[in-house]
Amino acid sequence: MMKRSLSLALLFATATAAAAEVKISGYGRFGLDYNDRNASSGVNGIGAPANGVSSTTITSRLRLQFDFSTETDGAVTLGSRLRVEAESRDNVAVTPGFNGAYFFARYGGMTVGVGNILGAIDAMPGFKINNPATGIGIDGAGFHDEVANVAANVAGQFGNWDAYSSTAAGPNGLEILYKSGAFSGHLSYSRTNTDIAPVGDGIPGNASPSNRTRIAMNLAYTFGDWTAVLGGQASDTAGEDKLILAVMGQVGPVGLRFAYADNEGIRKYGIYGDMDVGTASNVLVFVTSEEAADAGAIAQGRDNRDNVGPRVGALADTGGEGESYGVHYSYDLGGGASVEAGAVRSSNDQTQVQAGVFFRF
Amino acid sequence: MMKRSLSLALLFATATAAAAEVKISGYGRFGLDYNDRNASSGVNGIGAPANGVSSTTITSRLRLQFDFSTETDGAVTLGSRLRVEAESRDNVAVTPGFNGAYFFARYGGMTVGVGNILGAIDAMPGFKINNPATGIGIDGAGFHDEVANVAANVAGQFGNWDAYSSTAAGPNGLEILYKSGAFSGHLSYSRTNTDIAPVGDGIPGNASPSNRTRIAMNLAYTFGDWTAVLGGQASDTAGEDKLILAVMGQVGPVGLRFAYADNEGIRKYGIYGDMDVGTASNVLVFVTSEEAADAGAIAQGRDNRDNVGPRVGALADTGGEGESYGVHYSYDLGGGASVEAGAVRSSNDQTQVQAGVFFRF
Amino acid sequence: MMKRSLSLALLFATATAAAAEVKISGYGRFGLDYNDRNASSGVNGIGAPANGVSSTTITSRLRLQFDFSTETDGAVTLGSRLRVEAESRDNVAVTPGFNGAYFFARYGGMTVGVGNILGAIDAMPGFKINNPATGIGIDGAGFHDEVANVAANVAGQFGNWDAYSSTAAGPNGLEILYKSGAFSGHLSYSRTNTDIAPVGDGIPGNASPSNRTRIAMNLAYTFGDWTAVLGGQASDTAGEDKLILAVMGQVGPVGLRFAYADNEGIRKYGIYGDMDVGTASNVLVFVTSEEAADAGAIAQGRDNRDNVGPRVGALADTGGEGESYGVHYSYDLGGGASVEAGAVRSSNDQTQVQAGVFFRF
């Protein structure tokens, strides 16, 4: 995996309390998105009606992140995080609002989190592609790549775990993270209120029952160049029980990762490899295979999530062959900036191609 | 009263104009809230139906504050303030927005304020409990403590004065503050537009007439260790005329305060004491007594304000014995952080207990 | 034109990447607004009914601007901008949200912009009055002055071009700016999605068709103390084709500008002059004349845009004599602050007078 400067963030120590600090950081990205689901005729066998959006549109996002923290005399760090994201997908620009706050207390290797928590599934090492787009292309192909490459996403069951939300209130849960030497563990919990309207996780097609309780955990162990991670979620909502296994490591210049998930009976496998090319480039490829891909029709909302915003008619989807493929190319421009490009074809026969620039600040 | 570092705020002078500055500051807090009004059965004599929220929930708030100012060649300071607050109460997390802006011009001891003004009642010295929670527990018991301890809050008449709002547009008024030696004065004014929808003050149960005019004033004088404050409000809206008197001072290690308010005929008395214990702790207690507490049924919305968010059924309230009690404990952790805990029982028989951590940045 | 310090903005280089920076800047302003359209009786010949708002109200705005950028090893600057504006007009305070993001890539004299673009008409040199209020008074008389003084605004056709929006998503377009020596050029393009609800430009009375495409351009050339600018817009929406010409320069202590626009057949002419008086003052006057001012009734929403917010009854308008006049006075207080005052009477017989303070940070 290509090295990048990870900490371009502004960091100011306060004048009167050396312990307290405010960090302002974020990133911008913009580029072109080709999505064969937009402007489709409805007679291409996919079943998606024309939605009035061009196949090729500009995609962009600006993320602004505020990090606040202080340290007590007893070496406990207390902190919080808030984000703002302005986004345009499919030629619909959205004015941003703040997301829900995340709070934490950290002492040595132990962190307790409250509020818009990370979640033990979503923050599991080896769960997602680890690059600036967190996936394929310039915006992760509108999360389309996650549908394709994340082992815990299968037809009819997408994104049904607790995850830090950059745009909504998020899980409003509780979590404990622990790290000691080669071992790390993460336990998360959330419960929605009974008898009141669900807060939901903001993901279309992912209905939230009114009193959902989720418990998730991951355990990771690193031996030499390799790391093995086991994760799982128990939920009182149908379709949300998960068991996930990931193994990843370095073989000379090549980074390799294997992922497997049992999604309440629907299994999905994935293999991912990336390699530095020359001094500034990195190429990544993946292939995944899932059972029961024909059940995809159920998940149309999520499956075509790039098609957010107002449209005519929902995008019906009759599933697909079960295999998904993706390729991603990254070129480091220096100064925290890079060119990012990629293509992904998912098991529901949707194809997206993207290229653009990405910069951190 | 325990001393805290009051100015952890970031303060940056600009490169090109030494007079202009931007300050970013705020605080985070999170902890547990026990509220006997949640999950109640409706047969406990309080009359509150079950609302589907657990009796014990996590409460949290992140406040982010921006302060902007410059100084003219004639030594007039011109400035403005904007806030953002992310909050979770009763297990409902709210994504924050900005509040209304406050503007001011200051010359020597004189300040003129415009917009989301402080208000001469709400900013009156000795009006509220002066600690990180501005009250009892980690979040002021969801303002429940203010209902109990603030002399200007009585059954049926809550929060009906102009006050700086951290989450809404606020009073959009005009005020003048003056300070000279031992004397300080504050005059505020607001008027809502005639014949258009009221802006309101964002407080449930506090209906706003469409063309409300409020004038408020406070005068404070300090002699030795003691300060006496007289405040009042004249309004063209029924129930809003107020006369408030507060006297506070230090007797050895003990801080004492007495408060009295005539709320358009309904009188309320309060006594408050706090004492430093050891090097890092402070304990505070209060008791208040109000007339006409049986009128509480009118004020159900405000009286149970912790129960914000969607629910089934409103919380009816049949008033109570007229006395309210509270106790608060604070332990300084250093670095602008502290443990805050407290319990409050109000004249409408509601009990809340809270504990958590608080940190400034 | 009086000189002001233009760059009071905070500018922080990051610790780990000298190329990346975050700037926080903005301004505050507040003052009094007299608007003869408010509280009018409906029998004054203007036809505007009483709207319940006082003729004289406090106007205020707080603008907070975030600028993010980095520079690649190849000297390309990548950046983005986000704004927040809290505003009160006609005694209605608005809590602000973020606007749509603007992204750019700059190399030498060439800039490519994406998203909430500036627009080649709105950012055309000599298009607007160039002072802190971007017009007459403390808030540009609620844009009333733009109706009066901007040559591209005529009865029935207001603000119908792409412009950076400080409060909404904006055009979500694409633009190229180029500057080389005495020459500069600007080309902008935007297209709304077909068959989906229009994003609009947030301007009352300016209906947006569902699939509007706009192309605009300006070309400027500076010779000695004078600059000539030619701008134009081609749109597939009726009434939006424009041809604009501006010439401006300096004659001793006097700044002069001439503007002409053909607004799809409706012509408007303007002349503007300003002069420094003493060491800290500047006075500006303008007069404009437009054809077909009687068509003003169509544009009531925009024509009286100061009257935003809830009201009783729309303000009908029967047009006017065709000429508009304005005068503006500015007094520099130092530290980025100034007193701004002005009066404007527009071709639809509306008069506004304003005075207040303005400060940058």
3-state helix/strand/coil string of chain C: CCCCCCCCCEEEECCCCCCCEEEEEEEEEEEEEEECCCCCCCCCCCCCCCCCCCCEEEEEEEEEEEEEEEECCCCCEEEEEEEEEEEEECCEEECCCECCCEEEEEECCEEEEEECCCCCCCCCCCCCCCCCCCCCCCCHHHHHHHHHHCCCCECCECCCCCCCCCCCCCCCEEEEEEEECCEEEEEEEEECCCCCCCCCCCCCCCCCCCCCEEEEEEEEEEECCEEEEEEEEEECCCCCCEEEEEEEEEECCEEEEEEEEEECCEEEEEEEEEEEECCCEEEEEEEEEECCHHHHHHHHHHHCCCCCCCCCCCCCCCCCCCEEEEEEEEEEEECCEEEEEEEEECCCCCEEEEEEEEEEC
- The token duo for B313 is 């059924």
- Residues of A within 8 A of C170 (CB-CB) are 93
- Tell me which chain C residue has its CA closest to the CA of residue B70: C335
> From CA C235, how far away is CA C264, in angstroms rounded?
11
The four Cα atoms B299, B305, B307, B311 give a dihedral, to 10 degrees, of 50
> Lowest-confidence range among A220-224, B89-93, C163-167?
B89-93
Residue type, position B72, single letter: T
Q: Which pLDDT score, from 0 to 100, does residue C61 have?
A: 96
In this complex, is the C-beta atom of B9 within 8 Å of any C-beta atom belonging to chain A?
Answer: yes
User: Chain-wide mean pLDDT for chain A?
Assistant: 82
Instruction: List CB contacts (< 8 A) between A12 and chain B.
Output: 10, 12
Chain B nearest CA to A187, separation (Å): 17
Considering only CB atoms, which chain C residues are within 8 Å of B168? 95
The separation between the first and the last C-alpha atoms of chain C, rounded to the nearest angstrom, is: 21
DSSP A198: -
Side chain identity at residue A294, one-letter code: D
Q: What is the mean pLDDT of the segment spanning B26-40?
A: 87
Phi, psi for B194 (deg, rounded to 5): -75, 140
Query: What value, to the nearest 5°, has the Cα angle with vertex B9 and ends B7 and B14?
Result: 120
Neighbour tally for C265: CB within 10 Å: 11
Task: Note the ipTM here.
Answer: 0.85
CA B80, distance to chain mean position in Å, is: 20
**B141 pLDDT band (50/70/90 cuts)?**
confident
List CB contacts (< 8 A) between A334 and chain C.
Answer: 19, 72-74
Contacts of A174 (CB under 8 A, 6+ apart): A112, A113, A114, A117, A188, A189, A190, B58
Q: Is the dihedral of CA A169, A172, A176, A182 positive or negative?
A: negative
Residues of A in contact with B88 (CB under 8 A): 100-101, 115, 172
Calculate mean pLDDT across residues A217-240. Answer: 95
Query: Is A60 within 8 Å of C114 when comparing Cβ atoms?
Result: yes
Q: Provide the pLDDT for residue A59.
A: 93
Q: Report the alpha-carbon distance of residue A340 to residue A129 in Å, rounded.
A: 13
Partner A contacted by C101 (CB < 8 A):
yes
Q: From residue B138, give the alpha-carbon distance in Å to each of A66, A73, A76, B168.
A: 23, 20, 18, 22
Q: Name the 3-class secondary structure at B70.
A: strand
Tell me the residue length of chain B: 361
Least CA distance to C356: which residue of chain B? Answer: B105
Is A20 at the interface with chain B, CB within 8 A?
yes
Interface test with C, best of A38, A91, A307 (most C CBs within 10 A): A91
Residues of A whose CB is below 8 A from B306: none
Tell if the pTM clears 0.90, that is, is over it: no
Q: Which residues of chain A does B312 touch, with a Cβ-Cβ cutoff of 8 Å?
A: 195-196
The predicted pLDDT at position A320 comes to 56
Inter-chain contact B73–C360, Cβ cutoff 8 Å? Answer: no
pLDDT digits (tens, 9 = 90+) for C18-32: 578 999 999 999 999
Q: What is each CA distance from C198 to A49, A337, C2, C193, in whole angstroms?
A: 20, 33, 41, 7
**CA quadruple A270, A271, A277, A283: dihedral, nearest 10:** -20
Residues 179-238 (B) with a CB less than 8 A from some CB of A: none
Q: Is C94 an 8 Å CB contact of chain B?
A: yes
Give the three-state DSSP class for A27.
Answer: strand
Alpha-carbon distance of A357 to A30, in angstroms, equals 6
Q: Which residue of B has its CA nearest to C60?
A: B115
pLDDT band (50, 70, 90) for residue B38: confident
- With beta carbons under 8 A apart, name residues in chain A contacting C17: 5, 8, 335-336, 360
Closest-CA distance, B53 to chain A, in angstroms, reads 6
pLDDT at A298 over 80: no
Q: How many CB atoms lie within 10 A of CB C239?
A: 17
Nearest CA in chain C to B68: C361
For B101-120, write each residue's pLDDT tens digit: 999 999 999 999 999 999 99
Check CB contact of B96 with chain A, cutoff 8 Å. yes
A302 membership: H or E segment, kind and range: helix A300-303
Shortest alpha-carbon distance between residue C167 and chain A (Å)? 8
Chain A touched by B335 (CB under 8 Å): yes
Q: Does A314 touch chain C (CB under 8 A)?
A: no
Are B137 and B189 in contact, with CB atoms under 8 Å apart? Answer: no
- pLDDT score of A193 more than 80: no
Under the banding of pLDDT at 50, 70 and 90, the label for residue B61 is very high
Q: Residues of A with CB below 8 A from B53's CB?
A: 193-194, 196
**pLDDT recorded at residue A50:** 54
Tens-digit pLDDT profile for residues A68-117 = 999 999 999 999 999 999 999 888 898 999 999 999 999 999 999 999 99
Give contacts of C115 with chain A, Cβ < 8 Å. 30, 58, 60, 86, 88, 93
Q: Give the pLDDT band (50/70/90) at residue C326.
A: very high
d(CA A49, CA C167): 34
Give me chain B's average pLDDT, please: 82
Query: Does C116 sit within 8 Å of A51, measured CB to CB?
Result: no
Closest-CA distance, B260 to chain A, in angstroms, reads: 38
Q: Considering only alpha carbons, which residue of chain B is nearest residue A171? A: B93
pLDDT at position C84: 96
* Contact between B345 and B337 (Cβ < 8 Å): no
Nearest CB to A193: which of B26, B92, B96?
A: B92
- Say whether residue C174 is in contact with chain A using an 8 A CB cutoff: yes
The answer to whether B311 faces chain A, any CB pair under 8 Å, is yes
A361 touches chain C (CB under 8 A): yes
Dist. CA C136–CA B313, nearest whole Å = 53
- pLDDT (tens digit, 9 = 90+) per residue, A253-290? 999 999 999 999 999 999 999 999 999 999 999 999 99
What is the structure's pLDDT at C118?
A: 97
d(CA C361, CA C359): 7
* Residue B264 CA: distances (Å) to CA of A13, B259, B288, B302, B322: 49, 16, 18, 18, 17
Tell whether C176 lies on the interface with A, counting CB pairs under 8 A.
no
Q: Does the distance separating the beta carbons of A337 and C72 come in below 8 Å?
A: yes
In sequence order, what E strands does A108-148 have? 110-115
Determine the distance in angstroms separating the CA of A335 from the nearest CA of chain C, rounded to an integer.
5
Q: Which of A101-105, A147-151, B212-216 bottoms out in mean pLDDT, i.e. has the lowest?
A: A147-151
Does the pLDDT value for residue B357 go beyond 70? Answer: yes
User: Neighbours of B (≥3 Cβ pairs closer than 8 A)?
Assistant: A, C
- Give pLDDT tens digits for C227-264: 999 999 999 988 899 999 999 999 999 999 999 999 99
The verdict on a CB contact (< 8 Å) between C68 and A95 is: no
Place of tokens 């036809």: C47
Residue A249 has pLDDT above 60, yes or no: yes
- Positive or negative, the Cα torsion across C133, C136, C138, C143? negative
CA distance C229 to chain B (A): 32
Inter-chain CB proximity B103 and C62 less than 8 Å: yes
Burial (CB count within 10 angstroms: exposed 0-12, middle 13-18, buried 19+), residue B355 = middle
**Shortest Cα distance, chain C CAs vs residue B15, angstroms:** 7
> Both tokens of residue A119?
């979640």
**What are the chain A neighbours of C71 within 8 Å (beta carbons)?**
335
Distances (CA, A) of C28 to A164, C290, C308, C359: 35, 33, 20, 5
Task: For residue C175, count CB atoms less than 10 angstroms from its CB and return exposed for 0-12, middle for 13-18, buried for 19 or more.
Answer: buried
In which band, very low, low, confident or very high, does the pLDDT at A141 lie, cut at 50, 70 and 90? Answer: confident
Which pairing describes strands C254-263 and C242-251: parallel, antiparallel, or unpaired? antiparallel
Task: Give B72-81 pLDDT, tens digit per residue.
Answer: 999 999 999 9
- Inter-chain CB proximity B86 and A73 less than 8 Å: no
Spacing of C-alpha B335 from chain mean position: 24
Interface test with B, best of A112, A172, A190, A191 (most B CBs within 10 A): A172
Per the CB < 8 Å rule, is A20 touching B28?
no
Chain B contact present for C88, CB below 8 A = yes
On whether any CB of chain B is under 8 Å from the CB of A95, the answer is no
Task: Say whether residue A113 is in contact with chain B using an 8 A CB cutoff.
Answer: no
Alpha-carbon dihedral sign for residues B147, B150, B156, B157: negative
